Structure 1
Amino acid sequence: MILERRNLMNFKKIGDHFKPALDAPDVAELQKLAQLYQLSQAGANEIGTKLENLDAEFQVNHDHNPIHHMEERMKDVQSLVQKLARKNLALSIDNVQDHIFDVAGIRVVTNYIADVYLIEKLLLKQTDVTLIRRKDYIKTPKPSGYRSLHIVVAVPVFQAQGSQAVNVEIQIRTVGMDMWASLEHKLRYKTDMDAKLVEQYGNDLQGYANELAQIETKMQHIYQQLNDFAK
């Protein structure tokens, strides 16, 4: 299992990204943004450690690693600005803190569909993890074919001034779902391809998403049968 951690943006870089969107923000505002990022990354680290521990426990007790790998990311400042605009909210650090729940995020990639819900169940059983919101795009895929389980949880982060609840978004999906999502994201946002080709490949991917779901369900069934046979 690989846990990828990205470095926190330094103070100068935060200022360089945020200044074009604000009218000469003062140092105090930039400092609040830096503190928010530090706190959010600390929250992601807490969740990452919990998930690593759960995966290790399953390896010891059940000879199975439900987590294939994890990736941790911090939302870039420009994305925060754009998201506030879509929500028709004034650009302020307070609004980021109060209305943006995915400043810090972890993508958990599992081997099988059942592992997605197992990870969710085990994580939410922990007394210091609180579910804030949940969207199940596996049972109800997006029109594009996108499948993933999205949950936002709050976890306490202990700092010098005491404990503070921090929101972390967790996306849990299988290897197949992750491969599909990466390709679809590249098609939609990372290429300058002709719009007709984007639509064509988008339609192709929608069909492939259904095929992948069927294949993953069948492979999970085989895996479960092998487990039952070994008992």
Structure 2
Amino acid sequence: MDLLIPAIAAIGGYLLGSIPFGLVLTRLGGLGDIREIGSGNIGATNVLRTGRKDLAAATLILDAGKAGIAAAIFGYVFDPTAGLIAGGFAFAGHCYPVWLGFKGGKGVATFVGTMLVVYWPLGLVVIGTWLAMAALFRISSLSALIAALAAPITAYAIGRSDVAIMAGLLTVLIYWLHRANIERILKGEEPRIGDKKKSEQTDKDGAETEEN
């Protein structure tokens, strides 16, 4: 019984997180398979490349919301630990959805949604850090990497070791999924926000820019 609740939270969270809203919405919108557009990613950034800002916004909200909903449901029905597990596995489901051959998004929006629900002040720290770094460096992926790293550090500093552990694990996965971005950042080749020409060239070369 002690392992049953965590197992249910993990499975339920994963299944909720693995719903590929970007793919579903673009198909419903008559735009075909989002995996054949731009970088091939299912996140909101790639959906935006279709020219449908409404679908991109909906994808962003739903990708963030599905992890938050998973954490909220299991945290309410069972306990906060179950909520943390569900939120974490929803993040994993978004990044590695079984329905799409385990090829999903990079998890930034889903990470934010998880943080907002498991401990909302921490979610605000992540959002604020992203906005500040984006204004300073104008590089979306770098802003996301710094914001993600701020989460476990902040959680640990304020005494929420449970959240810090979960956020730390998710941050490690975010850095792994952004390894190509990190390489380009170090080379000074990562597209900046608003630099459409460079971003389009990056996609042509087959490299993935920052995705959700």
User: Smaller-chain TM-score range?
Assistant: 0.3 to 0.5
With CA pairs under 8 Å and 6+ residues apart, which has the higher RCO, 1 or 2? 2
Higher relative helix content: 2
Higher relative strand content: 1
Q: TM-score, normalised by structure 1?
A: 0.31
